[in-house]
């Protein structure tokens, strides 16, 4: 997208913050060698990220987890006492630790590794811009692994809008998650995805 296109989408202030963030992330990328995506798609560069933070904050969580947290720019803005980010990419986890020397903790891992938090209850698990590369069976298994490891009260996920890239899965989470979950929120980011909050129902 051109700079003018970005300004139209984000406004001048966010476009400037996005450019500053890109410059900062490129330095981290040179050191830790993580995927280019993280350096170009910072918090201020994508509208959905603030929306995810707002959805999570509405739940007033004490504990928050993000699976596929990348550099942790969503997670670290959620108002929770304890925050844990998990990602399979060791380089990005090391960079996230370096960037956020606060009460967020970052772990190399995925769904089942949420047990490493040693939290019995997680108020919200965020999984955005990550599940579209897994098929429905893998998503279902992943959520089951999560629930075997800890009690999860809410999930925030994203359904991407169907587009030309057919290799990405546009999940219907209400069907995938089944009766154990109720959808309590569904909002559009205005372009590429729906953001949804699910509440766990008592067994």
Ligand X SMILES: C[S@@+](CC[C@H](N)C(=O)[O-])C[C@H]1O[C@@H](n2cnc3c(N)ncnc32)[C@H](O)[C@@H]1O
Nearer to ligand X, 182 or 190 (CB): 190
DSSP state of 200: E
Residue carrying structure tokens 């050191």: 31
Cβ distance 194 to 184 under 8 Å? no
Nearer to ligand X, 64 or 69 (CB): 69
- Distance, in Å, from the CA atom of 68 to the CA atom of 61, rounded to the nearest integer, reads 19
| Subset of 2-31 contacting ligand X (CB under 6 A) | none
Residue with the CB atom nearest ligand X in the bound state:
68
Q: Does 74 bind ligand X (CB under 6 A)?
A: yes
Q: Does 89 bind ligand X (CB under 6 A)?
A: yes
Stretch binding ligand X (CB under 6 A), from 19-27, 61-69, 97-105, 185-193 = 61-69
For 153, residues 6+ apart whose C-beta sits below 8 A from its C-beta are 59, 121, 122, 123, 124, 199, 200
Residue numbers at the binding site for ligand X (CB under 6 A): 37, 49, 67-70, 74, 86-89, 92, 110, 128-130
């Amino acid at each position: 997208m051109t700079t003018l296109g970005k300004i139209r989408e984000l406004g001048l202030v966010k476009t400037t913050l996005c450019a500053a963030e890109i410059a900062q992330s490129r330095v981290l990328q040179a050191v830790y060698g993580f995927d280019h995506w993280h350096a170009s798609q910072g918090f201020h560069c994508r509208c959905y990220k603030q929306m995810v933070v707002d959805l999570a904050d509405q739940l007033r969580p004490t504990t928050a987890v993000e699976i596929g947290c990348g550099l942790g720019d969503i997670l670290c803005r959620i108002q929770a006492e304890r925050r844990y980010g998990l990602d399979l990419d060791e380089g990005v986890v090391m960079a996230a630790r370096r960037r956020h020397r606060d009460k967020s903790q970052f772990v190399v891992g995925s769904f089942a590794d949420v047990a490493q938090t040693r939290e019995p209850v997680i108020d919200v698990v965020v999984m955005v811009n990550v599940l579209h590369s897994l098929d429905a069976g893998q998503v279902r298994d992943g959520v089951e692994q999560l629930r075997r490891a800890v009690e999860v009260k809410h999930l925030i996920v994203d359904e991407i809008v169907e587009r030309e890239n057919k290799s990405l899965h546009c999940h219907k989470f209400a069907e995938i998650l089944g009766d154990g979950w109720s959808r309590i929120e569904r909002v559009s980011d205005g372009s590429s995805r729906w953001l949804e909050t699910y509440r766990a129902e008592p067994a």
